[in-house]
Amino acid sequence: MFSWFSSTDNQNNNPPPPSYRDEPSLPSGAMYAQAAKSMKPLDLPCLNALRGKRVILASASPRRKQLLAQIGLTKVDVVPSDFAEDLEKSKYTAIEYVMETAQEKCMSVYKQEIDSDDEPTLVIAADTIICSYLGGIVEKPLSFQDHIDMLKQLRDSEPHKVITAVCVMSPLADGRAPGYAMDTHVEETIVKFDKNVTDELIESYVRTGEGADKAGGYGIQGLGTILVESVNGSYDNVVGLPLRGTLKAIESVIFPSEEEAGDIVL
């Protein structure tokens, strides 16, 4: 019977593998940790094409800016969109609503900045909503009591969805209509609150003020993590920007006619 580990084949036909002892040794322990501090940014064609170019984040969210910095986009201009975000929710599904909002935010900043002296190479916008298990969109809390009631409802109900839409735009060098490339990405993550979280803990969390400006009333990247039992899906999506989907969208607009060039494997 044939064996992949035939000693005869190895001895007579195939040379032995090289010794790992001949390879350069890697730093370990504290030495490796020190070396990692000087690690280079991701070497991806779409990100390399943005080095030294103007990238705009159409959001005032410091969390989204921090997430972009993780993939190497550290020099980002923050230009918050002036889109009113007042779409009539009854006319949209949750995914349609968040997608349309992200596109409107991106387009408003793109139109504002494209004719400036410092034309952007890329505009990134995103919108995140929380959708209850019944399908309703959970807004930001309106008051102290509304905040408490909101978190209790999320605790006492079935897991909820966090849905983020990302829209990216880049001007086309050849000027062909419509003059820009645009791509979008939508991602859903299921979040389950711990049903054993007490009313006292919820009220204590609300008093910190952390979740007052956030849809759903909590920030999973901060103290809000104490309310969460599990996350099924992308964690950074819950924070506000799904990085894998954002990278794919960036690549598609930076290389709009070279879909096979420099593909990102994610």
pLDDT given at position 14? 57
Q: pLDDT for 220-262, tens place per residue?
A: 999 999 999 999 999 999 999 999 999 999 999 999 864 433 3
Comparing 26-30, 40-44, 122-126, 187-191, the range with the smallest average pLDDT is: 26-30
Mean pLDDT over 153-164 rounds to: 96
Residue 213 to residue 215: CA distance in whole angstroms = 7
Question: Which CATH architecture fits 42-254?
Answer: Alpha-Beta Complex (3.90)
- Give the per-residue pLDDT at 182: 96
Exposed/middle/buried for 256, CB within 10 Å: 0-12, 13-18, 19+? middle
Residue-level pLDDT at 66: 94
Q: What is the rounded CA–CA span in Å between residue 83 and residue 260?
A: 35
Q: Pick the catalytic residue: 77, 115, 127, 146?
A: 127
In Å, what is the CA distance from 236 to each residue of 55, 81, 155, 231, 232? 20, 21, 21, 11, 12
Q: What is the pLDDT of residue 117?
A: 86
- Please state the domain extents for the chain: 42-254
Residues 112 and 105: their CA atoms lie apart, in Å, by 11
Would you state the structure tokens that stand for residue 231, as one six-digit string? 């996350």
Mean of all residue pLDDT scores within the chain:
86
Q: Is 213 a catalytic residue?
A: no
Return the structure tokens found at 111: 């139109």
- Tens-place pLDDT, residues 55-83: 999 999 999 999 999 999 999 999 999 99
Q: How far apart are CA 104 and CA 99, in angstroms?
A: 9
